[in-house]
Amino acid sequence: MAISDDTSLEELLAEREQLNERIARRQAAVRRDEAERQTRIELEIMQTRLPDHIHGLFRHLRLHSIAVVFHDGHLENGPVGRSIEGAVNDAVARAYPAAGGFSDEFRSDMVRALLGIRIFDASKGFDMFKEGARSRGVQV
């Protein structure tokens, strides 16, 4: 791209426009590559750390007497017959799909982390909780 004094202004502007287009394409490619790299890093961090964080979160909740209750739809529409394990497996599969880049190992770790917490099964109603509270002298 040698520029001489004979080069017309139109030629210079055309060359500048071509150069600007090349720069814009290159910048877009660099941004796209960087975004893909960042997504891969974030996914890797999430898959490595989230199961442990889930375990820690529920441990913290337990320390403050906050329970996780599985109710199998009993509160809304009556029991639907799903097990806790089935509900957790389905929830993890929907939240962390393979199409989103989540590995089978990560999904298994998440299921184990969620099933490893103490979950109270209220799918047959809350009467058993009321009786347990009354036996401890709690007014319900």
Label residue 2 by pLDDT band (50, 70, 90): low
| pLDDT tens-digit map of 55-79 | 889 888 888 888 888 777 666 666 6
Cβ count near 26 (within 10 Å): 10
| Rounded Cα distance, 11 and 5, in Å | 12
- The residue-averaged pLDDT of 94-113 equals 93
DSSP 19-43: HHHHHHHHHHHHHHHHHHHHHHHHH
**β partners of residue 119:** 68
- The residue-averaged pLDDT of 107-132 equals 78
Nearest CA-CA partner of 46 in 103, 118, 117 = 103
Structure tokens at 51: 């199961």
Flag whether pLDDT at 19 surpasses 60. yes
pTM: 0.62
- Whether the Cβ atoms of residue 110 and residue 59 lie closer than 8 Å to each other: no
Flag whether pLDDT at 21 surpasses 90. yes
Read off the DSSP letter of residue 120: E
